[in-house]
Structure 1
């Protein structure tokens, strides 16, 4: 005799009730610096994973949240807050930079948000990132593999507490260094589903922005990209190829000829802004953890980047946006509005440089080889002026998957203008789209936010780029 559906759902409902109580989630309708009520649904809270408390921002789809996909998103570093995604990359808010005259930075609604058609769960991962914290000393220490497992458990726990999203198509999205742990998160979801773990997660695909995937391929791509973009002469590049035999990293003095040419290369790019080779190299807007966050000290020591674009546009640096995030996120009224637990984080930093983190996975290329046997939908993209994770390296590891090209290299357009170039692969139901974003750095959404929205929107709706 079959059990009634209501009885079958009872264990999951009980889990959801218990999980909701543990989350301490809150709906945020007003934020300091934003005029009026937020025009979208924002929920914040913590999810307990072992002894860690992972903080999240959840923005429900502004389209049809009962049917639109849901995406987990976290940033790279490791140790960069998902606040980057919410404010600078994918989310529906941005700082009003041009109107800044001191005090608490103001926010405004950003219309080309990925949340137009997708609910996004932004999480501060790993522990020690953003507002996430550990309840024990030992749990502050983490790694690539530990972060992947912890983030997977976070996602499961959050969805159990929000069962209304369980049947929606699920995507995992990461950028930069989190390409390593994010790839493993996807594998954990696949393994859990195959093992019959309940509830089943409705994984549809994953999205990788300027991702680190393989250490060797990434490190070698610096030289190749630098030559292609014109930072290195033909003569130096040929000398490097001949003396280094195709390996341009971890070179020692025992390889004398190669070592000499790499020294020349390092001097040539020393003063280049690797996040965007077209922008000036500016003071890094990330105070050390524990330093007193003082606007006056920043203004006195950080150089021209602190001046807003209308004042001295020719000297403005991208990092001005980052400085505003410190002033805003460390404000007590902001933390109270977000539901941050007081006393858990001494100073919020955009990217935690003192994270207790072990890089224990050098490549996840084999993960992608295995995932390419499944019917997943994948988007990989890069800015074409990024020297942190060069597009040449990204294209190289994709080629290593030996997928079939179904739409060869071509331009893709936004408003009739070339926004970048794209190529599409397919193999046994696995579909991978690679896109470059013309004129963008690392991460591309921070430089070409509108174009990246169009790219994402077409991908999520199966429209060709």
Structure 2
């Protein structure tokens, strides 16, 4: 009997990402997850053991490159972005930070300061997943950044619910090979979780040398999707290196991960249970999956695979990242008026692709002239992806940093169900019982506070929470930064 282990799940997914046609679409962050579990072979050169030591000891990197940053902050300042609306009242920066001068490896960032009181507000790093998808194209231009792209692919409109209302935000394209980030050494495009965390840490240390006014600022890491790996791993790396007396101390206060892929076993089980509870699968298929699939050991028999295939087929042709959202229809007539952040356009990714490939935009961003892609880019192979990040998350909780897991509740790919199953494995005591939270006199979602971890749902949101529910997402992240749960009554916000 053919047996497929869940241990190989993420690597099968990665193989697809790096070999597929790189269409710029939201689904590329974890495209066709279930369909490729059993259709690809595990790369025998890859390893999937626990990402870090499980004895709780933080171990610093043996060496970290730190280069001179003199004058580079001023050089990175953006005068104006092509097509930006009038009245922009905050500073923008963009450019490259070298993380390996020998190989010529550099990561691209876009940074926006807060319009008000930027000198006292925290610093937030945003990471998109994939792996291999752009935080500039998704996070900055479609989700939580200050602008969205109009349907003409040339002009921008303001996102009134941008996260730089409450923080100073860095968007990092990582690893090298994603978006504008690059290396002069082709072997660098074979990478994985460990190298991504190390390079992101090196980026941060050098970025703080470039922007020294932020060195002592409260710092938070946020992200979504496969950033369920990136964010905890980077946080762990920071805490490890903070113990080294000759390194920059990064004032890490907390992490927040949304619709985050953090554990293979609970992730797959949660997906099929979500299908059934949302009327996407039949009773018979759900019963077959739960009877024949061993989600404890992670061993899938051929009959289990058969039922999972049937479950995927029964869902039909819909946007798995928001099961109630329409598809992009490029042939539909476009309004001549600017877009509205309150009504997410399913064709937004096409507009962003056009905008970021304009020569004048790449010049304004201080990027190298290139054919920008949202996902994949120059990446060739992903070499390491542990089957679970739960041990790392447990270590972070033990380290006392603020830790939130949030979930848009109409995403079937990394569903609210998968997050609840993963959290359940920790067996945490409940500090604040499950209850609704509010924004604009409506239920924004639900929250449950555990000892060491807070779980928040965002009502009516798909995989990319700030895209579909920007106001609710802003209320949520503001609460996270303040160290309070979202408002629990209509008048208390």
Q: 1:238 aligns to what? A: 287
Q: Deviations over 1:204-231 (max 9, x none)?
A: 0111111111122212211111111111
Change (3 A) 1:17 1:281: closer
- Is 1:164 the equivalent of 2:191? no
Distance 2:344 2:437 in 1: 28
Q: 1:152 aligns to what? A: 201
Q: 1:416 aligns to what? A: 441
Tell me if structure 2 keeps the 8 A contact 1:73–1:121: yes
- Is 1:379 the equivalent of 2:400? no
Distance 1:259 1:134 in 2: 39
SS at match of 1:227: helix
- Is 1:326 the equivalent of 2:353? yes
**Shift of the alpha carbon at 1:24?**
8.1
- Is 1:219 the equivalent of 2:219? no
Change (3 A) 1:360 1:318: farther
1:88 to 142, 148, 154: 142
SS at match of 1:18: coil
Gaps of 5+ in 1: 1-14, 283-303
**Shift of the alpha carbon at 1:44?**
0.7
1:62 to 108, 115, 121: 115
Q: 1:348 aligns to what? A: 372
Q: 1:27 aligns to what? A: 77
Q: In terms of Rg, which structure is larger?
A: 1
Q: 1:40 aligns to what? A: 90
SS at match of 1:20: coil
SS at match of 2:273: helix
Change (3 A) 1:410 1:317: closer
Tell me if structure 2 keeps the 8 A contact 1:72–1:155: no
- Is 1:175 the equivalent of 2:196? no
Q: 1:71 aligns to what? A: 124
SS at match of 1:435: strand
Distance 1:17 1:240 in 2: 53
Distance 1:310 1:108 in 2: 14
Q: Deviations over 1:136-170 (max 9, x none)?
A: 11222211111111111111110122111011101
Pairing of 1:394-413 with structure 2 (within 5 A): 394-413=419-438
Change (3 A) 1:396 1:163: same
**Shift of the alpha carbon at 1:122?**
0.8
Distance 1:27 1:398 in 2: 41
Q: 1:133 aligns to what? A: 182
**Shift of the alpha carbon at 1:306?**
5.3
Change (3 A) 1:368 1:338: same
**Number of residues of Structure 1 aligned to a counterpart in Structure 2:** 412
Distance 2:297 2:378 in 1: 28
SS at match of 1:171: strand
**Shift of the alpha carbon at 1:457?**
1.0
Tell me if structure 1 keeps the 8 A contact 2:266–2:295: no
